[in-house]
């Protein structure tokens, strides 16, 4: 009796040779055509007719219709987000046709990036509190040792702000929010969180040992994003606001001018979720307000990519990176482990982890 998983796997995700061999040896069939920068993955009609489990990139499947995959049971994304995949031609058409009846399941690789994105978020908070971007850029441009007052944005005596004793608000408390909370708590910060329910919940997705907040016990208080009064209380306390919400119709421009104005004076904002959360004009207003934001770090923007000469590029309080906070060594191999884990769950007739529910958008 074969101990291989009873599925033919299609894979368009570029993998290390070790991860490729592991998947190949774990499934009864394996068709591997990785995406390349200059050419998308291409599978033969015969291969597509056999594939039952598809491991693909966050952009979606390399087909125009799921009718090309008659035996397909599950789509495993290599990305933590699913919004781009849901907009892709094949999956968007299936969503409209299937409605609530998802015979073909779709799941993300949420949990893959806990070794990179939370570290980025903490690094950016520290960099902004120390005014490092300004200091480093000016010293390199002018090629000289700066006077202390020149290190401060306002020309005052320079000092670094401490994380210790301040309050960090986690807007979104999934895998990324939980690991960021764990790291910030180690810096002596008070942790609060806002999620849909306003209640603690267990971490039921993929968890790398030693990371995250399994039982949701790190935040001292939870608030609900569905309750305006609760959200107001959350924002008013958040000296540091870490945003990791998914991109859905409900989160589009959720953090608008009025809500940004609720943050304490000189708050720091880091967005590692989706750029559509914050209208750029509203963010600029919050940065320029007399008691507005001390700084913002954006790995995602509105729009994305951010156009050349957009005022955010030159704003002295802003650091922008091109949606690269999750790019880390071995990330696709970790995603492959999640794919393998879900294939085993599927083979046992169990529910997969990180399943996307079309009705909620993620």
Give the DSSP H/E element, type plus range, for residue 53: strand 53-56
Quote the percentage of the chain above a pLDDT of 90: 91
Residues 202 and 153 occupy one common structural domain: yes
State the pLDDT at residue 101: 66
Q: Is the pLDDT of residue 1 over 60?
A: no
**132 plus 281 within the same structural domain:** yes
Name 96's Cβ contacts closer than 8 Å, sequence gap at least 6: none
As beta bridge partners, residue 5 has 27
Euclidean distance between CA atoms 33 and 94, whole angstroms: 23
Place of tokens 């993929």: 206
Determine the pLDDT at residue 97. 80
Count the domains in the chain: 2
Do residues 12 and 86 share a domain? yes
Does residue 120 share a domain with residue 88? no
The pLDDT tens digits of the residues spanning 235-244 come to 999 999 999 9
* pTM attached to this predicted model: 0.92
User: For tokens 């540091």, what's the residue?
Assistant: 240
Residue 184 falls inside a structural domain: yes
Is residue 38 a part of any domain in this protein?
yes
Instruction: Give catalytic residues, as residue numbers.
Output: 274, 323
Torsion sign over Cα 167, 168, 173, 179: negative
Q: Which DSSP symbol is given to 52?
A: S
Give domain status of residue 355, yes or no: no
175-185 vs 117-129: helix axis angle to the nearest 10? 40
Q: Are residues 131 and 202 in the same domain?
A: yes
In the block, which residue shows the tokens 């030159």? 314
Residue 37: pLDDT band by 50, 70, 90 thresholds? confident
Same domain, 239 and 263: yes
pLDDT above 70 covers a percentage of the chain that reads 99
Are 210 and 102 in a shared domain?
no
Task: State whether 255 and 165 are in the same domain.
Answer: yes
Task: Assess whether 205 and 344 both reside in one domain.
Answer: no
Question: What SS3 state is found at 221?
Answer: strand
Residues 336 and 300 in one domain: no
The model's pLDDT over 95-147, given as tens digits with 9 standing for 90+, comes to: 888 765 678 999 999 999 999 999 999 999 999 999 999 999 999 999 999 99
- Check if the beta carbon of residue 318 is closer than 8 Å to that of residue 292: no
Query: Within a domain: residue 162?
Result: yes
Give yes or no: residues 73 and 153 share one domain: no
Residue 291 lies inside a defined structural domain of this protein: yes
CATH number of domain containing 15: 3.40.50.720
Which 3-state string (H, E, C) describes 19-50? HHHHHHHHEEEEEECCCECCECCCCCHHHHHH
Full residue range of the structural domain in which residue 305 is found? 116-320
In a domain, 354, yes or no: no
Residue 104 inside a domain? The answer is yes
SS3 of residue 11 by DSSP? strand
Q: Say if residue 147 is in the same domain as residue 293.
A: yes
362 found inside a domain? no
Secondary structure of residue 352 in the 3-state scheme: coil
CA–CA dist 148, 157 (Å, integer): 6
Question: Are 275 and 269 within 8 A, CB to CB?
Answer: no
Using DSSP bridges, classify how beta strands 318-320 and 5-11 pair: parallel, antiparallel or unpaired: unpaired
pLDDT mean across residues, the chain: 95
């Amino acid at each position: 009796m074969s101990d291989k998983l009873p599925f033919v796997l299609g894979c368009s995700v570029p993998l290390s040779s070790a991860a490729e061999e592991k998947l190949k040896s774990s499934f009864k069939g394996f068709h591997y055509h990785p995406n390349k920068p200059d050419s998308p993955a291409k599978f033969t009609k015969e291969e597509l007719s056999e594939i039952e489990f598809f491991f693909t990139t966050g952009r979606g499947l390399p087909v125009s219709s799921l009718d090309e995959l008659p035996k397909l049971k599950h789509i495993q994304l290599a990305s933590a987000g699913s919004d781009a995949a849901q907009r892709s031609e094949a999956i968007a058409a299936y969503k409209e046709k299937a409605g609530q009846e998802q015979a073909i399941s779709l799941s993300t690789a949420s949990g893959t990036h806990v070794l990179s994105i939370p570290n980025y978020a903490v690094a950016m908070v520290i960099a902004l509190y120390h005014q490092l971007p300004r200091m480093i850029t000016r010293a390199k441009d002018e090629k000289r040792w700066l006077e202390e007052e020149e290190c401060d944005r306002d020309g005052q005596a320079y000092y670094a702000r401490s994380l210790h004793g301040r309050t960090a608000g986690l807007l979104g408390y999934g895998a990324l929010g939980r690991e960021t909370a764990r790291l910030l708590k180690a810096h002596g910060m008070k942790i609060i969180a806002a999620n849909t329910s306003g209640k603690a919940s267990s971490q039921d997705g993929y968890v790398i040992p030693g990371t995250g907040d399994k039982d949701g016990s790190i935040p001292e208080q939870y608030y609900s994003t569905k309750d305006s009064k609760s959200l107001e209380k959350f924002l008013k306390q958040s000296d540091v606001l870490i945003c990791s919400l998914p991109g859905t119709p409900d989160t589009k421009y959720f953090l608008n001018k009025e809500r940004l104005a609720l943050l304490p004076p000189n708050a720091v904002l880091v967005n590692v979720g989706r750029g559509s959360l914050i209208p750029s004009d509203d963010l600029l207003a919050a940065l320029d307000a007399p008691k507005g934001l001390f700084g913002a770090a954006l790995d995602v923007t509105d729009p994305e990519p951010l156009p050349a000469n957009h005022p955010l590029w030159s704003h002295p309080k802003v650091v922008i990176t091109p949606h690269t906070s999750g790019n880390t060594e071995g990330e696709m191999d970790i995603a492959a482990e999640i794919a393998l884990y879900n294939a085993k769950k599927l083979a046992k007739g169990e529910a997969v982890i990180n399943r996307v529910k079309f009705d909620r958008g993620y």
